[in-house]
Amino acid sequence: MPHPVLSGPSADAVPVFTVTPDDWESHAEPLGAEAVAFARAQGFAGKAGTLAMVPGRGGRLAGVLFGCEPADAPGFDPFAHGRLPGLLPEGVYRLSGGVHDAGLATLAFLLGSYRFDRYRKPGGKAVRLVVPDGVDGEKAGRIAEAVAFGRDLINTPANDLGPQEIEDAARALASDFGAACEVTAGDALLAANFPMIHAVGRASTRPPRLIDLRWGDPGAPKITLIGKGVAFDTGGLDIKPASAMRLMKKDMGGAATALSAARMIMGAGLPVRLRVLVPAVENAISGSAFRPGDVLPSRKGLTVEIENTDAEGRLILADALALADEEEPDLVLQFATLTGAARVALGPDLPPLFTEDDALAADLMRLGLAVNDPVWRLPLWKPYARMLDSKIADIDHSGTGGFAGSITAALFLKRFVEKAKAYAHFDVYGWVPSARPGRPEGGEPQVARLVLALLEERFGRKAPL
């Protein structure tokens, strides 16, 4: 089924010319000298993000000039065309010349059309794009729908998205693609040996759970995605201040990334055995909340001393990682809105990547730039493991001293992975704080598109947009 924002060839489609300050007049020549003069009279100079709409006969639009940075400019944005749905009047348009990458421009147009309207009357205008020649519109639409699925999950407030609703979303996804989905919830987590997932979620009236989705040929390469599913994080007994709690509905952004990537992978029919693990909890406060100073058992058998209950995500991920590791998968990729230190180091748009696999790191950084879903490698600096030393348990879960928080969190998680052939951890933000082309303000399943690109390349189904 085609994406509703995409259109087939249309005689009524208005051409959009992508121009720069240096070449806009030459690109506008097909519209005629009067059109160039009209654009110049409006003050149009090809500045990035600006439009000049040129009228034709009968008052209809003859064409649109859209200013962009040159592809070799420092400020060039591959998703620049994601601005267009918000700038253009209702109608059908086609890209006509000057586009650096028509596939990314099409995807950006789709991603920029996203609106979260669950709690308000749907509005907006119908702005559609003719699929450019040579672009796989079906694939672009499939990716955009998976991103929208992840955005919707993150944007939904915690009163309507708790552990049960995360499970419901995973079960619906499994049903759509013929996958199996098993869930272990509540006190059954203890019987199944997931003690840290249970400990983090037991204070909430909404029971914690581990969601386990499986799809694909069991004999194919084993790919496991793990996503942190903290539906809301109060900080626990180490309670967050109000300013830090305001956006904690997004603390399940890792789960949204894993499920969004899974939707892309299954939709593409990649030849892998996919497993998705989502520990889903609410870190609440009650008499049964876990405490600073507690020592928790873990699935792996390591004892874990609790330094701060606001560092809960790594605890639930550790039990999920230990489970994933038991079957010796070919690749484990983990996503979590884990540390503020990652944002201090790299900001909201560039998630840090942690892995000991140099080839995997190189592929991820290269492909991240190619699909405009970038990451940056930070070191698993082993000397910092001393910060996780505990005097009474096998390991302290969040370390002391306040330094290198994203690295020490990654080192803690690495202790629970031994058998996987390759492993990478992504400390994502899961949120766009200020709207940018193709990325509206709000939830964002960062690195989901990157995961698809990696698996396509590694398993022989790489196809450009």
Task: Pick the catalytic residue from 206, 263, 314, 439.
Answer: 314
One of 171, 240, 436, 458 is an active-site residue; which one?
A: 240
Active site residue 228: no
First to last CA, the chain: 17
Specify the length of the chain in residues.
Answer: 465
Contact present, 366 and 268 (Cβ < 8 Å): no
- Is-catalytic flag, 250? no
What residues act catalytically?
Answer: 240, 314
